[in-house]
């Protein structure tokens, strides 16, 4: 059963492109402003926020191009289609988030031992502007993030940066009011921890898809039991259940037809496909039919 044309149904061909382009532009401008502000004010938290903001822009560019690639139809090179381009983009973006988070922890620890003066008022001013832009950028990608792990990874960059900007404002207020320069690396650690928590919570699902793992909400044994409950099915083996992308899953298996029911094999196969779609939402099902009298020997129920 052909698969490729199902991969990109969830990607509206042109929806969101202008919003993403606008988000990239404002994030690049903000990055430049924050880097300059961080250097002038001496704030590590500000530079941390700028670094993450640059990763925001990069993540949006990657997500944008992945959306473009995912729209391509299946061809002789990619017979399943290009839908997984978005999954690869999500993996890249989430990995960069983890790298950024670890780097910020390293820099914050060093700053604890080598404190530097920070201009609190300048930090507050630039961080306030950054917060407005971060929230606007997140708003631009919020709707798309609901249905795409690729856009969701980019959206998480923006959300983390908005939290970072808010934290930087708090740090600037405390430094300006009380001279607590140790708050700067402390806030940086908080930003880093939040970034790592968000990235690690999402990356497992992305890796699972790329590793052809079964859908987390769909137990393989339950799927096979549903098929075997259909009259005329003696059993299934050599079963493979995997996620083609974040919206579509597929099943491939050998199905044994009961003795005496071979004349109805095609009808039984169609009944199984219908039952699997109704019970589990599986629309990509490939079944190899075997007669009970000539069933494979020494077979595994799941996998080969």
Residue 41 sits at the vertex; the CA angle it makes with 36 and 42, to the nearest 5 degrees, is 100
Distance, CA of 245 to CA of 264 (rounded, Å): 33
3-state helix, strand, coil in the chain (%, to 5): 65, 10, 25
The pTM of this model reads: 0.72
The pLDDT tens digits of the residues spanning 50-106 come to 776 777 677 778 777 887 888 888 888 888 888 888 888 889 888 988 888 898 898
- pLDDT band at 17; cut points 50, 70, 90: low
DSSP one-letter string for 80-126: T-STTHHHHHHHHHHHHHHHHHHHHHHHHHHHHHS-----HHHHHHH
The torsion of the CA quartet 152, 153, 157, 160, rounded to 10 degrees, works out to 70
Q: Are 177 and 100 in contact (CB under 8 A)?
A: no
* Residue 7 pLDDT: 34
For residue 300, pLDDT over 80 is answered with: yes
Provide mean pLDDT across the span 289-303: 83
The pLDDT tens digits of the residues spanning 211-224 come to 999 998 889 999 99
Most confidently modeled of 10-14, 49-53, 110-114, 235-239? 235-239
- Rounded percentage of the chain residues whose pLDDT exceeds 70: 90
Distance, CA of 48 to CA of 164 (rounded, Å): 9
Q: Are 234 and 256 in contact (CB under 8 A)?
A: yes
Name the nearest CA neighbour of 15 among 64, 87, 60, 50: 64
């Amino acid at each position: 059963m052909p698969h490729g044309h199902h991969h990109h149904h969830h990607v509206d061909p042109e929806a969101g492109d202008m919003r993403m382009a606008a988000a990239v532009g404002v994030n690049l401008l903000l990055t430049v402003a924050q880097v300059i502000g961080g250097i002038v004010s001496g704030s590590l938290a500000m530079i941390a926020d700028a670094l993450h903001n640059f990763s925001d822009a990069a993540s949006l560019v990657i997500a944008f191009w992945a959306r473009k690639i995912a729209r391509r139809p299946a061809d002789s090179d990619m017979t399943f289609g290009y839908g997984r381009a978005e999954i690869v983009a999500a993996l890249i973006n989430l990995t960069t988030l983890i790298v950024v988070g670890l780097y910020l922890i390293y820099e914050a620890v060093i700053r604890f031992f080598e404190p530097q003066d920070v201009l609190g008022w300048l930090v507050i001013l630039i961080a306030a502007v950054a917060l407005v832009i971060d929230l606007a950028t997140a708003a631009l990608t919020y709707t798309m993030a609901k249905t795409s792990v690729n856009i969701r990874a980019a959206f998480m960059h923006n959300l983390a940066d908005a939290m970072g900007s808010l934290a930087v404002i708090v740090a600037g207020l405390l430094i300006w009011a009380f001279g607590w320069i140790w708050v700067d690396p402390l806030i940086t650690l908080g930003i880093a921890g939040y970034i790592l928590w968000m990235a690690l919570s999402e990356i497992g699902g992305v890796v699972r898809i790329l590793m052809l793992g079964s859908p987390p909400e769909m137990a393989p044994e339950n799927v096979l039991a549903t098929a075997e409950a259909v009259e005329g099915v003696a059993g299934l083996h050599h079963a493979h259940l995997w996620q083609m992308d974040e919206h579509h899953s597929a099943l491939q298996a050998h199905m044994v037809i009961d003795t005496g029911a071979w004349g109805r094999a095609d009808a039984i196969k169609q009944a199984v496909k219908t039952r699997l779609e109704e019970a589990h939402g599986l629309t990509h099902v490939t079944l190899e039919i075997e007669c009970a009298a000539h069933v494979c020997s020494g077979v595994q129920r799941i996998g080969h």
